[in-house]
Structure 1
């Protein structure tokens, strides 16, 4: 079993294929962290913890004068506030008397095969032969608070899944002012970097690497969604770690609401990493006998650099997080009508687009915003989920039947979480909107936010959406969210519980998604939030495809997709070929380049296909045929970032390798052509060193030559030229 408990040493040891994670219960029953790193067999690692008398460090009352024992200097497995640890806490408990404190000591533990679901939350899953679980109870004797630390070990993938459940076993009602998911204290001196991903709408997932320093480095979102601005995915790595060397540890929060992730270096040069729900937008009343479940964090360890870490996480997501048929099945090649028509469409326009799509080999038409209520602009009708029959003669059912008669599947856009002030829904149910008493509601994109924590709202949306899915026989829905949460107040909750609104909101989103997944198990759901504003591990549990960005410019997408690749499987990334000049940047890029960039993700189109000339139609037809032939390598293969767009402004290159290492595709996009350029080489990865590979021109190379000496890039000229090199093992 991958989890071992040594009764004599009081150590818990968790082994994955290449890593070891160890904790110890010390003599006062504090649960301390010993080690997380390369796999070590048969060793009590608590010798790494060296208690010392630190000036002014608070000592617990049962330490009997031992000034070396302080929760402020020892590596805690789950930190609390109020009893002497002045570093960042995971748990702030406001007791019935108003005091804020919890002194957690080890009580008991359980080890078992398999993994339990987390109530109301997305989480990783696995059969008993694939995963082992450890639960450790830590109790506060005064308040009756019990924190159950949950550790599940996916040994094959070097993945630990961590979470925490807080229960009130006392007699009085408590308030949680924060309840984070995990704490990781490293007692060893710090020489590490932290990698985070920042951005903005249409400029998501920019990598930023920072050396750890004394104090706190923090990323967070208080927007009600994980947001395009910061992502709940963080990497801690050796200062010298590269794509192919060095220890790396990724933390991916399986949660789609407001979050916080922070690394802190303290007075002893030790580090503390914490992650979970953003405390600024959270509080929770916990009555006697009740429990609160914090979200899960997936922790992935690699001893051989960032590429190995990413590929472990990619494989794990597609096997133990994403659900449904599309976790390994190819998603349909679709065309979305948004950039083709915006709000200006009718049935005949859509059918003309569908005819053009069918001609080139596209498999699905997706009807985006504007099909419902009186929606002719973004100022009205959100929440009125019935077809605009002035645009769609005969309604959605008729359109769906005509599309299926042409051999196409039908997909539809929704924005379920929002409501327009100018809508029938707002007129009929004004109390369903998040709104603070005495304050005018802030709008964004002319819309307000529904209180997704209300069962009545969830029921209304499910009934509307389920009726349309059945009527139109939808194969796909695009679930959008186009604004951050403001005016977070619920009439259903008393004043002292308004801090629950934010978390109850995302629980309501999850509840509605789960109802849809269960009612329509074959339905493909693509998550979107103004593009990539809610691209997180939580949404992958319901949505095997996520729209990475509203920016469809192929050159901008190089950086966006580079950032995405660190934490998210390429199959989950929606990526489309759009028209030029591009609608977001005005840039003109060759159709070949747009196609090769989009093939890195779940492939589709975002353009008016009825305006294509004969040559463009032939080219798109070839692109689609090429993608259908290669999709499994692009989406399920091993992915390698060969260049860094922050450093290489000349060209971008990436590589995918089939699982059997027999086929490799190398894609190169020239960003800035140079006159009289030198010969360019790029070193490949993931090949069989002694194997012989041939390219489409008949060149023969050993895998070792391609990985150590490199592939010679063909000369390319013009604006943003590109090429794909296919290598086959012979």
Structure 2
């Protein structure tokens, strides 16, 4: 609901979970007044105080009013140049070279539901599910018009923000910064949380005190990146997983992003998020409009888990679309770590037979099936079958899978091109390339210029032709390098700063057309694993390969960090061989399996070479996962312990089914310790008055000598009330092995 107090210029967006308040002062300035727990009404119990601040100048209209300065006002979309020295939300360069504009409030509009953002992924909602506030600003000299969009979902603490900027002057201008949102907090008593990493080490949580001055989380790689996720949270010092106030921000964008915090001289905090302004420039002709990507803003008074629950629900119900939005995801086997490039029809046929024998459901053929691709030096862009490997083409391997009751999937990397390819020889100008300089290579490949419509058309046709050539149920869409030399051969000089942004917009156009044409295909996004794990990609592809690192212990932090924003059903998680191919670690099959249970489960190893005992164990794991899959994929997810807190030696995750009747708990301890306390694992979100029976229990293997008749804590069949499980907890057995993993399944009686 949006309530308006016209007399005081107050806009109050509120529901049962949250309130967000704006105020227009002096009929000019749109200020941020409150964001937090829901309020019955906002009557300004803590009014802004008029204080004379030295070196904080007055706007031209108020030259003698020394207590009024933009330098201290909590503005919703601040400019630079009229006395506010903090970071601005937008910047322009006018035709005369000046950079100063002045936005004043003009009018507002309220619409039911939420309109689509042209060419961009965004939260979607029906008329009954949301309301949208449009705040219109105009430059005092008629150079610009800006529309601020605020949508509040009806039954959620989710607020979305984005901005439209229009050149309404008589000359072209350059937009050099265009944030999706800005807002000011009245203090800085926060910790700053971000997700950092690298290839095979994505999304570790960094929690540091919010510092005075400027701190930035951002990517300059042309993609949302492995290195810095497009996410930021500000948490009160006492906030933990289940308690305390947290403000979370996530951008629905797959390109370069930036979240900047600035604690200024008087201790207030400004947060600005959107496309990274580094080397960004958008040339706006007269009458043209630029639409920023959308940001999701979440308030939680129930800690980080409370924030994550809102993000998860929004992603599942208002980001992901299509057939697989609420459909259970299949258990797959991918041939990559089994064969790499060295495969033929016989190997894939044997893999399909083994997959069927083990109860798997989807066979995925990874890199190497096309062109002359026998290593990563050639053939990207040549999306036709390598008949030296696959004599019967894709129809043959697809039929091999389907006749055994399996679905069939295929790997692509359509945004890339190899210098040694028929496509490059035909269209060498189709790459991102700076004139007069040689190109950088990464994984021996170059990047197609998706800012060009003809290149996008080629990708749609080439991939579409393959998908029509055989029965293909799944696509893994990879992106194995970041952008460099981001110059387009067809854009004029004044528009070259648009290239990286137009690349992402071109990608979105490609994905919209392909997913609309092939709605039966399950698309999975990948970028060397989790290098493009963002809500923008999930709008088109309902799951993402979480990381190329398949080591279960590394995955504990990768998946825990990812879960701050994204639900487990969006995370590809596979069992691989030991020693692990990325870090060389040896872990038990049970540990690898239970970690992979917390996502879209599958296998990434040569299952044809497993021992008979291993195959029997896999069959049991697969049958158990199928039984628990509705809870693991569609249930609510909670972090009980994380590898980022405490001793950083324990991780525990809990899943609760949609109807609350089944609870799955996974616990991992990285290293065994002598004389360690016995862990009592306190569960959460149970019905305190209900009884729960322990119906399944998988303990870690015991290795140490038993000199005194130690007994297992297998309490299978016992019944406990929810209050005891939450407040007293489940006892975890003595752990005497590294990389231990346990599972409990409880059924509500």
> What TM-score do you get using the length of structure 2 for normalisation?
0.96
Structure 1 SS opposite 2:480: coil
Matched, 1:254 2:252: yes
- Summarize the Cα distance change of 1:377–1:46 in structure 2 as closer, same or farther, 3 Å threshold: farther
Question: Which of these residues, 699, 724, 727, is aligned with residue 743 of structure 2?
Answer: 724
Structure 2 CA distance for aligned equivalents of residues 117 and 672 of structure 1: 49
Note the C-alpha offset of 1:682.
Answer: 1.2
Structure 1 CA distance for aligned equivalents of residues 94 and 162 of structure 2: 23
Residue 401 of structure 2 corresponds to which residue in structure 1? 403
Note the C-alpha offset of 1:339.
Answer: 0.1
Residue 380 of structure 2 corresponds to which residue in structure 1? 382
Note the C-alpha offset of 1:143.
Answer: 4.2
Number of aligned residues: 728
Q: Deviations over 1:336-386 (max 9, x none)?
A: 000000000011110100100010011111111111111111111111111
Structure 1 SS opposite 2:278: helix
Residue 710 of structure 1 corresponds to which residue in structure 2? 729
Matched-pair contact (CA < 8 Å) for 2:443–2:481: yes
Note the C-alpha offset of 1:263.
Answer: 1.0
Deviates more, 1:122-131 or 1:400-409: 400-409
Structure 1 CA distance for aligned equivalents of residues 264 and 620 of structure 2: 58
Structure 1 CA distance for aligned equivalents of residues 638 and 226 of structure 2: 24
Q: Deviations over 1:506-563 (max 9, x none)?
A: 0011000000111011211110111110111111101110011000001110111111
Matched-pair contact (CA < 8 Å) for 2:2–2:133: yes
Structure 1 CA distance for aligned equivalents of residues 79 and 240 of structure 2: 35
Residue 63 of structure 1 corresponds to which residue in structure 2? 62
Note the C-alpha offset of 1:83.
Answer: 2.2
Matched-pair contact (CA < 8 Å) for 2:78–2:88: yes
Structure 2 SS opposite 1:335: strand
Matched-pair contact (CA < 8 Å) for 2:75–2:184: yes
Note the C-alpha offset of 1:46.
Answer: 7.8
Structure 2 CA distance for aligned equivalents of residues 348 and 665 of structure 1: 39
Question: Which of these residues, 601, 609, 616, is aligned with residue 607 of structure 2?
Answer: 609
Deviates more, 1:243-252 or 1:675-684: 675-684
Residue 288 of structure 1 corresponds to which residue in structure 2? 286
Residue 167 of structure 1 corresponds to which residue in structure 2? 166
Q: Deviations over 1:183-209 (max 9, x none)?
A: 0111x2221111101001111111011
Q: Deviations over 1:166-221 (max 9, x none)?
A: 011111111101111000111x2221111101001111111011111211111110
Matched-pair contact (CA < 8 Å) for 2:218–2:259: yes
**Counterparts of residues 163-562 of structure 1 (less than 5 Å):** 163-186=162-185, 188-562=186-560
Matched, 1:692 2:691: yes
Residue 578 of structure 1 corresponds to which residue in structure 2? 576
- Which runs of 5 or more residues in structure 2 are unaligned? 696-715
Note the C-alpha offset of 1:722.
Answer: 1.7
Note the C-alpha offset of 1:649.
Answer: 4.1
Structure 2 CA distance for aligned equivalents of residues 486 and 189 of structure 1: 39
Residue 674 of structure 1 corresponds to which residue in structure 2? 673
- Summarize the Cα distance change of 1:74–1:429 in structure 2 as closer, same or farther, 3 Å threshold: same
Structure 1 CA distance for aligned equivalents of residues 245 and 677 of structure 2: 34
Matched, 1:122 2:121: yes
Note the C-alpha offset of 1:141.
Answer: 2.3
Note the C-alpha offset of 1:399.
Answer: 2.0
Structure 1 CA distance for aligned equivalents of residues 613 and 650 of structure 2: 27
Matched, 1:636 2:634: yes
Q: Deviations over 1:659-704 (max 9, x none)?
A: 3322211111221123454422111111111212221312222211
Matched-pair contact (CA < 8 Å) for 2:642–2:650: no
- Summarize the Cα distance change of 1:712–1:285 in structure 2 as closer, same or farther, 3 Å threshold: same
Matched-pair contact (CA < 8 Å) for 1:11–1:44: no
Structure 1 CA distance for aligned equivalents of residues 151 and 379 of structure 2: 45
Structure 2 CA distance for aligned equivalents of residues 171 and 211 of structure 1: 46
Note the C-alpha offset of 1:64.
Answer: 4.4
Pairwise CA RMSD:
1.3
Matched-pair contact (CA < 8 Å) for 1:649–1:672: no
Residue 132 of structure 1 corresponds to which residue in structure 2? 131
Structure 1 CA distance for aligned equivalents of residues 634 and 299 of structure 2: 20
Residue 49 of structure 1 corresponds to which residue in structure 2? 48
Matched-pair contact (CA < 8 Å) for 2:12–2:42: no
Q: Deviations over 1:125-173 (max 9, x none)?
A: 0110001001111110214201100001103121001000001111111
Note the C-alpha offset of 1:473.
Answer: 1.8
Matched-pair contact (CA < 8 Å) for 1:399–1:472: no
Matched-pair contact (CA < 8 Å) for 2:17–2:156: no
Structure 1 CA distance for aligned equivalents of residues 422 and 159 of structure 2: 47
Deviates more, 1:715-724 or 1:469-478: 715-724
- Which runs of 5 or more residues in structure 1 are unaligned? none
Matched-pair contact (CA < 8 Å) for 2:556–2:643: yes
Residue 567 of structure 2 corresponds to which residue in structure 1? 569
Residue 150 of structure 2 corresponds to which residue in structure 1? 151
Structure 1 CA distance for aligned equivalents of residues 634 and 567 of structure 2: 8
Structure 1 CA distance for aligned equivalents of residues 450 and 8 of structure 2: 48
Q: Deviations over 1:384-437 (max 9, x none)?
A: 111100001121122212321221111111111111111111110011001101
Structure 1 CA distance for aligned equivalents of residues 555 and 725 of structure 2: 27
> What TM-score do you get using the length of structure 1 for normalisation?
0.98
Structure 1 CA distance for aligned equivalents of residues 190 and 551 of structure 2: 35
Note the C-alpha offset of 1:28.
Answer: 4.5
Matched-pair contact (CA < 8 Å) for 1:666–1:726: yes
Residue 23 of structure 2 corresponds to which residue in structure 1? 24
Q: Deviations over 1:54-101 (max 9, x none)?
A: 112121111242122221110110011222221111110111111001
- Summarize the Cα distance change of 1:472–1:461 in structure 2 as closer, same or farther, 3 Å threshold: same
Matched-pair contact (CA < 8 Å) for 1:24–1:46: no
Residue 88 of structure 1 corresponds to which residue in structure 2? 87
- Summarize the Cα distance change of 1:60–1:649 in structure 2 as closer, same or farther, 3 Å threshold: closer
Structure 2 CA distance for aligned equivalents of residues 679 and 41 of structure 1: 46
Structure 1 CA distance for aligned equivalents of residues 328 and 484 of structure 2: 38
Structure 2 CA distance for aligned equivalents of residues 246 and 395 of structure 1: 57
Matched-pair contact (CA < 8 Å) for 1:323–1:542: yes
